[in-house]
Amino acid sequence: MGFAELLDRVGGLGRFQIIQLVLLCIPIFLMASHNLLQNFSAAIPDHKCKVNESAAFNTSTIDREGWKMVFSPMDSDGSIDRCLEFVNIQWRMVSANNSWDNATNVDTRSCKNGWEYDKKEFSSTIITEWDLVCSQKNKRQLAQSIYMAGVLVGAIILGGLSDRYGRRALLIWSYLQMAVSGICTAFSPNYIAYCVFRFLGGMALSGISLNTTALIVEWIPTKVRTITGTIAGYCYTVGQLLLAGLAYGIRDWRWLQLCVSLPFFFFFLYSWWFPESARWLVLSGKPEQAVKGMKKVAILNGKREEGEKITLETLKTDMIKEMACGKETYSALDLVRTGTLRRISCGMSFVWFSTSFAYYGLAMDLQKFGVSIYLIQVIFGVVDIPAKLVSTTSMIYIGRRVTQCISLFLGGLAVLANIFVPADLPILRTSLAVFGKGCFASAFSCAFLYTTELYPTVIRQSGLGLGSTMARLGGIVAPLVKMLGDFYPFLPLVIYGGAPIISGLMVYFLPETVNKPLPDTIEEIEMGKKTQKKQKEIVPLQSPKTNTGLQEMSDGHEK
């Protein structure tokens, strides 16, 4: 008997699992807010050079009937240039149109007195507060990359620590770190402090994501893992809609940052109720604590009698294999120790990277669509609902591998198709982007579950940490790739679309995990591979003999 059977004895999907799932999913609503917050806190409002009022006043005393003062040249689109101003105020006829010629050797310079911002849509953003426009515009993308770097570092550090010190302890710490760093971000005195605190918030988000997934999967029976994983994914989807509502009601970036950070203090307080993963306790050589945890779960699930039957002796008897594994130590190097694990680690690393890379490439620049940023955020959130529903159905009835492959392939094709759509067809371009984003959301949903099922318990968090690390690396690179659009407008789309297509093809070489129990040891992974190979070798050899024997018996009977 293994842990899965013990879990069924103490209630399977009982009251404890339902309460734990609800409490673990509530913070996921605000994880989406932190990931996509810069769409609003770093939104770029319309702006122009601030006028030198004293100079304007002195010049306006000159009587020039039929003329008006011009402070800035026109850009290529016929609009007032956002980054340049005339050294000396120019005069233009009132009747002149926007095609007025600027190429008259008139001296211009960068905005000397700062910028004026349109505050109709946003009362305050980090852009307006620290003038991150024109020559400083790349700092906006840099801030998001730094946040994603924090998520990457968090995946590396906190993923490994949770395999060593437990899922519960790291989750509690991550909630506290998110609350503190988020509040400090809201009170950042300058751009550098903002980036530092966002980096720490990114680390905390990784700890929450990894340990939430592990606690859900390791306390949930095999037959309902897909459903519970999808519920967690839908919480993230609803979180995107919640962010749109919060940002619409709170137009000041500091208050918005504070609003999505304060609840993590509440999550930190109730997280002390969570029991440690009994599966991890057994594999970490702490069976006594695992017995206590199983008994508490049995009581909550109304299975007190079954819980009383679980003792240290019975646990050791039922989980001999797992207890033996608990005596060994593991590290991140075990992710590539065997051939099967190397193939899994390589394939899933590229899946996580390309999915995150393309996803954030689409989701982190909502202003480019030319419509209300709040509406686009809602549309991008709503599309995840049918996408994840289709993904869940496909994972159950077709399998994880096929679902992962198709979602990546279709998402990549949708992005590449936008290269050939003219700019004067914004609805079609937006529709393709929305479809692609839905495919990548489906791929994300599948990747979380698929990764937890591919890796054995002894290195599961390290495997998830590796995947999360590659995803955050994709998130770091995605904003930077956008800068290539200044030189070749089509190049970012080629890269965003090509990466998921390649990773989708790589998934074909990974094993299927649908309806299979979670592996606990590295040996199980290799034995599973050998068993499959043995079956493939045996069946073809026996079939001809069997068929021949049956034919001979049939012939003899007829005679």
Residue 558 inside a domain? The answer is: no
Q: What does the pLDDT look like over 16-54, one tens digit per residue?
A: 888 888 899 899 988 888 888 888 888 888 777 777 655
Whole-number CA gyration radius for the chain:
29
Instruction: Go through the chain and tell me how many residues it has.
Output: 559
Residue 55 inside a domain? The answer is: no
What is the reported pLDDT for 463? 84
What is the reported pLDDT for 61? 46
Domain carrying residue 38: 3-44+140-507
What is the reported pLDDT for 530? 52
Residue 394 inside a domain? The answer is: yes
Residue 15 host element (H or E): helix 15-36
Would you say the C-alpha torsion 497, 233, 38, 74 has a positive or negative sign? Answer: positive
Contacts for 380 with CB less than 8 Å, ≥ 6 apart: 240, 362, 363, 366, 434, 437
Instruction: Tell me the CA end-to-end span of the chain in Å, nearest whole number.
Output: 52
Amino acid at 123: S
187 token code pair: 């009170």
Q: Phi/psi of residue 171, each to 5°?
A: -70, -45
Residue 302 inside a domain? The answer is: yes
Neighbour count for residue 529 (Cβ, 10 Å): 15
Number of domains in the chain: 1
What is the reported pLDDT for 319? 63
CB 217 within 8 A of CB 518: yes
Pairwise CA distance, residues 173 & 205, whole Å? 11
Pairwise CA distance, residues 433 & 439, whole Å? 10
Q: What does the pLDDT look like over 297-312, one tens digit per residue?
A: 788 777 777 767 777 7
Residue 517 inside a domain? The answer is: no
| CATH code: domain of residue 331 | 1.20.1250.20
What is the reported pLDDT for 327? 52
Residue 118 inside a domain? The answer is: no
Q: Which residues of the chain have pLDDT under 70?
A: 1-4, 11, 52-82, 84-106, 109, 307, 315-332, 364-371, 485-486, 528-559
Residue 537 inside a domain? The answer is: no
pTM (predicted TM-score): 0.71
CB 83 within 8 A of CB 110: yes
Of 132, 140, 121, 56, the C-alpha closest to 90 is 56
Residue 514 inside a domain? The answer is: no
Q: Looking up tokens 């810069």, which residue turns up? A: 38
